Amino acid sequence: MEVLITGANGFVGQHLVRELAEHEISTATVGGPKNSNQSADSPANTYNLDLTDPAQADKIDFSRIDAVIHLAGLAAVGPSFDNPQLYMDTNVGMQVNLFEAALRQGKHPRFLIVSSGSLYDPAAELPLTEDSPIKPSSPYAESKVAQEHSAANYAQKGFESIIARPFNHIGPGQLAGFIVPDLTQQLVAVEAGKAAQILVGNLDSQRDYTDVRDIVRAYRLLIEKGKPGEVYNICSGTPTSGHAILESLLASSSAKPEIAPNPDLMRPSDNPVIYGSHNKLTADTGWQPEIVLSQTLSDVLTEWRNRS
């Protein structure tokens, strides 16, 4: 099997490249390094392309591609409110260009479309399942719904597609702008004597966090065992508050920072608890989350300490 990974140089993509290599699955990548496990006679399957351009998508050689894991896209929720059309054009356009490029080459690889757990109605009964009502709360989430509809359209053209809806994922390599790296970066600054405070937003909200290494294992299993046309939640099934994350980080440090609120980070409208069910994914692939939160946070803390 050879798998094309788009967005391979991103936070999740880099972990996915390693996951597939560890299971001796050859990869072609858009935006990432060539898989060192590829045989010497394999083509140089690293594509540096703008997938919003149909002509550039046509440069991908689909003749040896058995599956596509489509990660590439705009993923920050906040900026999507400032330019909703950009998010729709980019996230849906890249996907359409991939399908059309494969069609022009007469190929029909299996697609794993990475959607999002953020498109569910947060007021729905918990845990959220694949049958829970949809109510996207951002242009980003709306673009993910549109990607799912696009995949359904291409099923009529002979493509097998599987939809993954990952919830919050965390782990080594995640950049600032998310709760775990933001708290960890500040804690390391306190340890180094560069700061005395950790500024926080609303830590009361409870969300469903899964280690990115468990997430990419789910992606691999879905390509191997997932059922075409089906939707799968990828989540821990356990709600965790921001307070619990901060307390776990502080327990691994001798630092005693002052915890201070940052009004710019406060979101009073946050739903208090959101978490999902991975029962369907487990039933069809055998996947279970394996990396506990304390291990994830320890690994992230070690990474940020090594950066300083």
How large is the average pLDDT for residues 261-270? 71
Domains of the chain by range and CATH? 2-170+210-237+277-285 (3.40.50.720), 179-205+239-274+292-307 (3.90.25.10)
List CB contacts of 66: < 8 A, sequence separation 6 or more: 1, 2, 3, 109, 110
Percent of the chain with pLDDT over 70: 94
Interatomic CA distance for residues 107 and 110, integer angstroms: 10
Interatomic CA distance for residues 166 and 212, integer angstroms: 10
Going by pLDDT thresholds of 50, 70 and 90, the confidence category of residue 299 is: very high
pLDDT of residue 104: 98
pLDDT of residue 91: 98
How large is the average pLDDT for residues 225-230? 98
How large is the average pLDDT for residues 159-185? 97
How large is the average pLDDT for residues 283-302? 98
pLDDT of residue 31: 79
Does the pLDDT value for residue 34 go beyond 80? no
Interatomic CA distance for residues 123 and 47, integer angstroms: 42
pLDDT of residue 11: 96
Give the closest residue to 36 by CA, choosing from 47, 48, 24.
24
Convert 11-28 to b/e letters by CB count within 10 Å (16 or more is b).
bbbbbbbebbeeeebbbb
Average predicted confidence (pLDDT) for the chain: 93
Instruction: Identify the weakest region by mean pLDDT among 104-118, 190-204, 265-279.
Output: 265-279
Does the pLDDT value for residue 38 go beyond 60? no
Going by pLDDT thresholds of 50, 70 and 90, the confidence category of residue 36 is: very low
Does the pLDDT value for residue 43 go beyond 50? no
Going by pLDDT thresholds of 50, 70 and 90, the confidence category of residue 35 is: very low
Give bridge partners of residue 234 from the DSSP assignment: 166
Going by pLDDT thresholds of 50, 70 and 90, the confidence category of residue 271 is: confident
Does the pLDDT value for residue 7 go beyond 60? yes
H or E element: which one contains 69? strand 67-70
Q: What is the largest CA-CA distance in the chain?
A: 61
pTM of the shown model: 0.94
What separation, in Å, do the N-terminal and C-terminal C-alpha atoms of the chain show?
A: 40
Name the residue with higher pLDDT: 43 or 89: 89
pLDDT of residue 263: 83
Going by pLDDT thresholds of 50, 70 and 90, the confidence category of residue 274 is: very high
